Each structure stands twice: as C-alpha cells, then as structure tokens.
C-alpha cells in the first residue's frame, strides 16, 4: 500500500459515501437532520477526548451532534488529569448524547499517560480530540500520528518559536500519512466570514491598508492568579495546570490563548502573515496576583506591503469592553467580528470608512432574523466531510504560523523590542521542552517555579530583550 493511500477501512467509508446516492454532497446537507443512513460498526468513527474541560466537552458535543449524514460516530474514551473535570464532562455528554456515548469507567483515564490509554481505544482513521492546555499538544499529536489517527486539536498549538517549528514538522508527518488534522481556529470555517473573505478578494473594499482588532474585557479564565487559589492538597504542577492561562509554558499566557482568533482572522482577510511587529503592554493592577500576564497589550503588526494590523487587548474590569475586528480598505470596511466569535452582527461591508447603516453594501446574513451558521459546528462538518470523502485536510502549518505570529506580538510587548517574523522564528526560548512534557507525572516539578516571595517570573521590557522572562 502506498503511504498516501487511505487505510482500507477509510476507503470503505469513502466508497460507502460514493455509492449512497442520498449523500452525494454531504456538505450540502450540513445541518439537516437526516434519518440514520448506516449504522454498521465498520463505518463508525470512534472518538477519544483528551482534556475534558469546557472546550473539550464542547468539541465532543459538536462532533457527536452533527447530522447522521456525516456517518455514525461514537465517543469511546476520555482522559484528563483531574477527576472532577472528567466527571463533569462525562455527566454532561452521557446525558445529551446517550446513544453515542460509550465510555465505561475502564475507558475513563486519569493521569499524564491517559492520552495514550484513550488513544489505545481507537483504530486508524478514528479521531482524537485534544483540548488540554497547549503545552501537551506536540506530545499528544506525535502519539496520534504514530497510531494513524485523525485529530481535532484546539488552538493555540504553539507558545514559542521552537514549539511552532516542532508542530510544523509533526504536521508534515501527518500529511505523509494522509491523516486529517483540524485546529480549532473555527472562524476560518464560518460561512459568513468565508463570504466576507470572498468579497474582499473580489475587491469590494479595495486593497486593505490597515486592520484593527480588539479583545477587551474583565478578567477571564485563569489569567490572573493569587496564592489563595491554590488548594493545599494540590502539587505545584497541578496548581499551575489548574490556572493554565497564568503560565506561559502552559498556554502562551492570556495573549496567545485569547488573542489568537482575532490575529488569525485579520491575517486571513489580508491573505498574509505580518513580517514584523512592535508592541506595548504592562500590568497596571497587579495586586496580590503572581501570574505571568500583563493586563493590557497593544501590538502594531506590519505586512510586507506596509499595511498594518493594530491589535488592542485589555483584561481589566470597569473599562470599555470590545470584541471586534475590522479590515479597512481603500474603498470601504469589512466587519470581521463584532461582539463574539459567532457571526452575529459581523460579515458586513460598508462602502466608506463610516460604518453608518446607509453605507452598508453587503451582508452575509440577508435578514436580521436569519440564523447565523455556528463556526464551532462548521469546523466539525468540514473535518468529518474530509474524512468521509478522504480528501486532504491538514490545518497544522497554518495554525502553527497563526500561533507563532500571535506569540511574536506577545514577545514584542514582553521584551519591548521590534521583531521580524524571521528573527522571532529563530528565537530559542522554549518555555517547556518536549522531554519535560513527555516525562511529566503527577509528581513532576513544573518548568517554572515561584521565587521566595511566591511570585513567578514576569517579563521586563527593555531589560530582558531576547527572552520573555
Ligand atoms: N476555539 C475556541 O474558541 C476555544 C474556546 C475555549 C478554549 N479553547 C482552547 O481549548 C483548550 C482548553 O481550554 P478550556 O477552556 O477547555 O480549559 P479547561 O481548563 O476547561 O479544560 C482543559 C482540560 O484539560 C485538562 N488537562 C490539562 N492537562 C492535561 C493533560 N496533560 N492530559 C489530559 N488532560 C489535561 C484539564 O484538567 C482540563 O480539564 C485551550 O487550548 C484553549 O485555548 C478554544
């Protein structure tokens, strides 16, 4: 068998699709509830969920909840490092998807090796879902590639340049094995944003000269950590994992974890990655917090043609909230996001820089009551369709670049330096090595420790210029 040929059971799935007149174009049927078309065990795609928190549970629900036109699916194994997280996820999924939930206690795994045990329940062509903090992506992905599994992994996928290179290399290995790999930058799958991208390509706003993106809100997730959040029974490592947005090695910090979407979606509209950036940032209110994040960031990214992306991030209560992104061209403005990742009020074009209703010339949604397609559903429909049709599908390189461009913005703010993408990709600071993560057990020491005052290392712009701490 040629290495690019699909595994035999996948070609049978594909043949089944071809021969089933009913679902000649699965995508066209997306969202329509069809009767069960086939329930033979051979055609069932098995899923394993690794990282059973909020998003992991959501991603599993998105996978199981798609129409039967995408073929039979079953969740068969789950893994986490905290029992309460796994229990919560089991409770929510087993109730809602009773007929597709087949995870008995002996396939519910706790521990750092749980990912291996969960993936052991899958066969080639099944899907592993990775929704742990990003620090574990490369280790889990490597194992999935070895086992010939398709993957859905959450963003971001790299916290620093060395991990971005590693993920790109793994992505290439996955391609050689014809594995389908999706990354949770779901806005790319939003039909409304795809429509907007197409309009921009056709010249609806002229050449893009600058873009703006905002993510400003009060404290979210585990970004700010004070010592009282540590439970006495928790080890240092488990404490850090439970507060993963607070630590650069685990998440790339709040900057990478929260801001990647808007940075990625604007770069998509421009069809380019920035070549350099400079940035500001600081911690206005630190209070008792001991984490590594700033509470405000501003980044000016520059593209090869001189166009700019201005990014504003603030995590501060009591200030103006904003969650939006816009592409400004010579002839008008495209609204990429407004209010949330959902299409909501976005996917619109205005014919001048003044976004008054009378200047609107295009909208993906044709009426105010039209239901916006949900990008979290779309990304699963696209992956499942690629698997069923055995079409090439690999989002790793693009997502690794989005992760690296995001990390470059954070690096510029944390060091106070202007940096080119080329130079950033040569930066050697690696927050956690593959070996450290691969060998991690519940008793391991984490890659960073607090100082004698209980504080973790923080960036010092202008003092530390080539590393973030
Ligand atoms: N695409 C999106 O819009 C979106 C939204 C939210 C979160 N996310 C991403 O999903 C990931 C998880 O975020 P979340 O909000 O669900 O966090 P969460 O804390 O709710 O879930 C993470 C889970 O992973 C578990 N975990 C940690 N290390 C593990 C390991 N080594 N093995 C197994 N399990 C492990 C944790 O115990 C936890 O249950 C992050 O990368 C985040 O950026 C994406």
**All structural domains of the chain:** 8-188+377-394 (3.40.50.720), 190-373+402-438 (3.30.360.10)
| Ligand 1 atom with least separation from CA of 185 | 1
Nearest to 432 by CA among 184, 139, 170, 234: 139
**Any atom of ligand 1 within 6 Å of the Cβ of 136:** yes
Distances (CA, A) of 127 to 26, 163, 283: 19, 23, 41
188 CB within 6 A, ligand 1: no
**pLDDT surpasses 80 at 84:** yes
Model pLDDT for residues 119-147, shown as the tens digit of each residue: 999 999 999 999 999 999 999 999 999 99
* Of the candidate ranges 19-28, 157-166, 297-306, the one whose mean pLDDT is the lowest: 19-28
Specify whether the CB–CB gap between 157 and 137 falls below 8 A. yes
Kindly give the number of the ligand 1 atom that is closest to the alpha carbon of 440.
31
Half-sphere exposure of 180 (CA within 13 A, CB side): 26
Q: How big is the chain by its Cα radius of gyration, in Å?
A: 22
**What's the confidence (pLDDT) of residue 25?**
35
Both structure tokens of 278: 């400079």
Q: How many CB atoms lie within 10 A of CB 271?
A: 11
- CB count within 10 Å of CB 185 equals 24
Residue 51 CA, ligand 1 centroid: distance in Å = 6
Tokens for 168? 């790109």
| Rounded Cα–Cα distance for residues 141 and 127 (Å) | 11
Q: Is the pLDDT of residue 217 over 60?
A: yes
Q: Atom 18 in ligand 1: which residue has the minimum CA distance? A: 53
What is the 22 CA–ligand 1 centroid distance (Å)? 37
Q: Which of 132, 237, 241 to mutate to test the pocket of ligand 1 (most atoms within 8 A of CB)?
A: 132
- Kindly indicate the confidence band of residue 113, based on its pLDDT and cuts at 50, 70 and 90: very high
CA separation for the pair 316, 335 (Å, rounded): 25
CA of 312 to the centre of ligand 1 (A): 24
Strand order from edge to edge, sheet including 360-363: 360-363, 348-350, 333-338, 322-329, 208-217, 308-315, 296-302, 276-282, 419-420
Q: Is the full-model pTM beyond 0.85?
A: yes
> Mean pLDDT over residues 144-166, rounded?
98
Q: For residues 150 and 134, what is the distance between their CA atoms, to the nearest angstrom? A: 18
For the residues 214-224, what does the mean pLDDT come to?
97
Task: Say yes or no: CB of residue 257 within 6 Å of ligand 1.
Answer: yes
Q: Is the peptide bond before 151 cis (omega within 30 degrees of 0)?
A: no
17 CA to middle of ligand 1, Å?
Answer: 33
Q: Give the model confidence (pLDDT) of 382-422 as tens digits.
A: 999 999 999 999 999 999 999 999 999 999 999 999 999 99
Residue 368: predicted pLDDT = 84
């Amino acid at each position: 068998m040629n290495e690019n040929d699909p595994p035999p059971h996948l070609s049978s799935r594909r043949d089944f699709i071809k021969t089933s007149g009913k679902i000649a174009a699965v995508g066209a049927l997306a969202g329509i509830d069809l009767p069960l078309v086939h329930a033979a065990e051979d055609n069932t795609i098995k899923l394993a969920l690794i990282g059973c928190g909020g998003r992991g549970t959501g991603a599993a629900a998105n996978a199981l909840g798609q129409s039967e036109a995408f073929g039979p699916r079953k969740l068969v194994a789950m893994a986490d490092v905290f029992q309460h997280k796994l229990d919560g996820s089991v409770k929510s999924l087993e109730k809602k998807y009773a007929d597709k939930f087949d995870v008995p206690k002996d396939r519910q795994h706790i521990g750092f090796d749980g990912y291996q045990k969960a993936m052991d329940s899958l066969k080639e062509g099944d899907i592993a879902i990775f929704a742990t903090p990003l620090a574990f992506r490369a280790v889990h992905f490597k194992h999935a590639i070895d086992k010939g599994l398709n993957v859905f992994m959450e963003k971001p996928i790299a916290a620093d340049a060395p991990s971005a290179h590693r993920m790109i290399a793994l992505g290439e290995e996955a391609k050689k094995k014809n594995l389908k790999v999706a990354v949770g930058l779901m806005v790319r799958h939003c039909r409304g944003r795809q429509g907007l991208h197409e309009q921009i390509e056709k010249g609806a706003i002229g050449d893009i000269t600058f873009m703006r993106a905002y993510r400003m809100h009060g404290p979210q997730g585990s970004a700010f950590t004070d010592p009282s959040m540590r439970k006495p029974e928790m080890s240092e490592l488990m404490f850090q994992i439970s507060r993963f947005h607070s630590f650069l090695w685990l998440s790339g910090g709040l900057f990478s974890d929260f801001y990647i979407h808007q940075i990625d979606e604007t770069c998509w509209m421009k069809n380019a990655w920035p070549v350099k950036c400079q940035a500001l940032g600081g911690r206005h209110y630190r209070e008792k917090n001991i984490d590594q994040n700033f509470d405000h960031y501003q980044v000016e990214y520059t593209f090869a043609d001189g166009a700019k992306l201005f990014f504003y991030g603030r995590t501060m209560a009591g200030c103006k909230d904003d969650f939006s992104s816009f592409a400004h061209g010579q002839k008008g403005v495209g609204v990429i996001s407004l209010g949330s990742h959902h299409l909501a009020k976005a996917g619109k074009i205005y014919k001048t820089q003044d976004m008054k209703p009378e200047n609107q010339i295009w909208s993906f949604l044709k009426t105010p009551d039209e239901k916006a397609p949900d990008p979290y559903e779309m990304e699963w429909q696209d992956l499942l369709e690629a698997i069923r049709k055995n079409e090439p599908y690999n989002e790793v390189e693009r997502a690794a670049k989005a992760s690296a461009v995001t990390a470059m913005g954070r690096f510029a703010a944390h060091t106070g330096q202007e940096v080119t993408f080329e130079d950033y990709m040569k930066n050697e600071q690696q927050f956690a090595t593959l070996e450290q993560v691969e060998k991690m057990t519940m008793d391991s020491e984490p890659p960073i420790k607090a100082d004698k005052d209980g504080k973790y290392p923080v960036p010092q712009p202008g003092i530390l210029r080539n590393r973030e701490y």
